[in-house]
Structure formats: structure tokens, C-alpha cells
A and B are shown apart, each in its own frame.
Chain A
Amino acid sequence: MTEHVVIVGGGTGGTVLANDLADRLKPEIAAGDVRVTLVNDDPDHVYKPVWLYVPFGQREPDDGRRPLSELVDDAIDLQIDRVSDIDTGSQQLQFSGSSTSVDYDYLVLATGSTLEPSHIPGLAEGGYNYYSESGATALREELLEFTEGELVLSVIGTPHMCPAAPLEFVFMADDWFRERGLRDDVDITYTYPVQRVHGNPHIAEWAQPIMDDRGINVETLFNAESVDPEAETITSMEGTDLDYDLLVTIPPHAGIDLIEEAGLGDDGWVDVDKHTLEAEAAENVYALGDTADTGVPNAGSVAHYQASVVGQRLASELRGRPPTATYDGKTLCFIETGLNAASFVEFDYESPPSPAPPSQKLHWSKLAYNESYWLTARGLL
């Protein structure tokens, strides 16, 4: 009998896993003992880190798109469709595009994050973001017009994708306005929900003095409650009002509704064992990347490492051996500290991050990684 592995989501985690399994399970797939299906709701694979550069005119959204069919090994069945129902009791999935259902023996959820601007009244009308393709291009138009006034970058809640990206944006904006001779006419304010500038105390301790040096205003303990697009103000639950001329936010994030409907976790994030990545509420279900609630950052590097762990565990299970591979919380992040310098952090469940001194070499390394990302997705790097 053929064992069927279904991966839902062809972003970073799902694609790396599909290619990992194609390689790892080559003999079983060739013999027809195992079948692997990758389902994604878009024919393209999207590499989101490119969006950080779009508002500053340094990249185009298309630089972050490639057809999945070019990235995924031919041994994998690629299905372009949206999963519309997950039944973990009967081990079955349903799709929006067809009335057929499919049975799985193992399910891997790699459905990533969804932006939920509607959670904050006025946000969709009043705020820009670079966390979506359309958001990044709209912000680019707005930034080009923006030559003076108050720029507010507000982080609305955590978890959100790439915890470094809000810091990167204000550091890059600071440099960008300086290079264009506009910095004296532009005020930059950064808001963060807890009492420091970043969730991780070590990164916050490192970033705060850089912000002070660069004249970036900071408002901590600021949890946006509403935005008034007419009056151009953003108000926090703590009762602070900030005026803005240009509001850039990291909108509230959630996973996908189906996950909650399937009883796998709250807010669309799957409750998992943070070492094995197995879902807590169902058998034969794994989650990885942003959707797996492990407490580590929602980052592509995390999705990548987790894909390798799930690949090893699935191969063991399919071969009738006890799975032993575990995820140790490993996270790698390059952090742009301007247009020509970047830092780098590496940490895991046990060891805290210690950001490297910013350098041009690290900035080039981040750009080089962005270029070579396509080899990562193919499973080559």
C-alpha cells in the first residue's frame, strides 16, 4: 500500500521539506511505496524577505517570485489549490477548487502567517506595510513622495514574521533619508508593545543605543488600539496618541482559520511539541515554520531547519523506525542596520543571541543569501 504524505503550504518550509523528502525517500517514491503531495494556493513560490527592499526601490516584488514547478522536484505531486477543510479524525483534506477530498497518512502544515489589519479599526485605511507584495509597492510610492513630517513605524503585536524586520526598516529609512539630504525634515518614531524595543532582551539591549545615536524616537508599551486616518493619529491601549504623516505598521498576524477549526491550536497557530514538531491535538500531523507554535521567531531560517527535522522524522516513520531527529530552536538572522551595513544573530532554545558588530561584509552576506535563496528552496543549500 502506498503511504501518502501531504504537505500544505509551498512557502519556505513546505518547499524545502518537499525537496528534502524527494531526496531522502527517493527509492520508496520510485517504488511507489510512498507518495508526497505538496499543495499550495498560488502557482508561485514567494520569498518574502525581498519586500523589505521594495519600499526603498532596491528590489522588485518579482525578484521574490518563482514558479513552484521550477523549484520542486519532479518526484513530488504538486497541486495548486487551497485546502478548505482539515479533518484529523478521518485523516482527510478538502480543497476549495474541487469537490474531491484526499486521504493522508501523514500531514504537514506549513501554511505560514496571515495579516489581519481588520483587528485594529482604521488600520487598513490609515496604515502602510511592507509585509505583503501590494503593501510594499504602495509604500514605495508613498515614501518617494514623503519629504518631510512624522514617519511612525508601529509594531502591532507579536508574533509577527521576522522580528528583526521592524528594526531593519527604521535603520534603513534613517540612512535613506540621510543619503537624500532629508533626514532633518523627517522625524522617525518606532513603537513596540512591550517595555523595550524588541521582544528578545539581548537584541533590545543592542538595538536601543543604535536608535538613540540615530535620533530614532522610541515609544515602548505601545499597543495600537485604533487608527484615525482622517486626523492621522494612532492611539494605544495604554492611552498614548501619536500624530503621523506616514504610518507604517507591522499588522496583527494570525495563522489560517482552518487550523483553529480543526482544533489544532488558537489563532491559527498549531500547538506542537517544540522539539519534535508533532501536533499536540492529533496523530500523524506535523507543523513547521510560522504556523508551528514553538515560541521561536517566525523566520525563514527556522522553517528551513524545521523542514529538515520533519523530513528526517517522516523518513524514519515511513521506514518503520522510531524517529529521533529533534529541533533545538536554531534561528539565524541577518539584521540590516542601514543601507550598507548589517548585523547577524544566531541562537537556540538554550543559548541567547549576541548580535555581531554591524559591518558592510554582513550586509553583503545578507544580499548574497537573498540571491542564493533559490538554491535553499530547491534543497541544494
Chain B
Amino acid sequence: MTDIEPDATVDARGAACPGPLMDLIGKIRSAESGDVIRLLSDNDQSLTDVPEWTEEAGNELLAVDELDDYNAFYVEKA
């Protein structure tokens, strides 16, 4: 478990792909550089979608918490 304090959380639990990644991208659009966004997703595809996109976009995936029935991704906007 990480102790990172996110600036905002996007709860995309229950959403089918590409919903969670699009919700994260939407939040990152309006975030300031350096902000940390936490994405909650129970879609397995997010485990590949989110790292691929953060790398492509030059943002940093700080941590992924694998919780009981969902994952929490912490992404810092470049």
C-alpha cells in the first residue's frame, strides 16, 4: 500500500474499457503539472492500458495498489 496523497481521485469502478483510461486522461487534461491523480478501476485491461498510456504521454505512474477487487493507479502529470 502506498501512502501517496492524491490531488484528485477518479472512480471508474464498474466501467468497461476504454472507460477507465479515458476518465483518467480527462482528469489529467484539467490537472496542473505535478498533480497526482488516483484512478480506481476494476477492469483488468487497465493494468496494461494505464502504464502504456502514461509512458507514451510522458506522465509518471508512481504506484499501483492491487486491492481486493480493484486496482488503484497513482499517476503524476508531467
Does more than half of chain B's interface fall in helix, strand or loop, or is it mixed?
helix
Q: Which of A193, A199, A274, A295 meets B25, CB within 8 Å?
A: A193
Q: Quick check: is A157 within 8 A (CB to CB) of the other chain?
A: yes
Q: Quick check: is B34 within 8 A (CB to CB) of the other chain?
A: no
Q: Quick check: is A195 within 8 A (CB to CB) of the other chain?
A: yes
Residues of chain B with a CB closer than 8 A to A239's CB: 57-58
User: Is the Cβ of B28 less than 8 Å from the Cβ of A237?
Assistant: yes
Q: Quick check: is A291 within 8 A (CB to CB) of the other chain?
A: no
User: Is the Cβ of A238 less than 8 Å from the Cβ of B58?
Assistant: yes
Contact with A along B18-36 (1 / 0, CB 8 A): 1101100110110000000
Contact with B along A227-263 (1 / 0, CB 8 A): 0000000000111000000000000000000000000
Residues of chain B with a CB closer than 8 A to A295's CB: 14-16, 19
Q: Quick check: is B7 within 8 A (CB to CB) of the other chain?
A: no
A-B contact count (CB 8 A): 50
A21 to B14, CA, bound (A): 31
User: Is the Cβ of A158 less than 8 Å from the Cβ of B18?
Assistant: yes
Q: Quick check: is B49 within 8 A (CB to CB) of the other chain?
A: yes
Q: Of all chain A residues, which has the CB nearest B22?
A: A158
User: Is the Cβ of A195 less than 8 Å from the Cβ of B49?
Assistant: yes
Interchain nearest-CB distance for B54 vs A (Å): 10
Given contact pairs A199-B17, A295-B14, A221 touches B22 in the complex (Cβ within 8 A): no
Q: Which of A194, A195, A225 meets B22, CB within 8 Å?
A: A194
Q: Of all chain B residues, which has the CB nearest A222?
A: B56
Q: Which of A194, A225, A238 meets B21, CB within 8 Å?
A: A194
Given contact pairs A195-B49, A238-B58, A157 touches B26 in the complex (Cβ within 8 A): yes
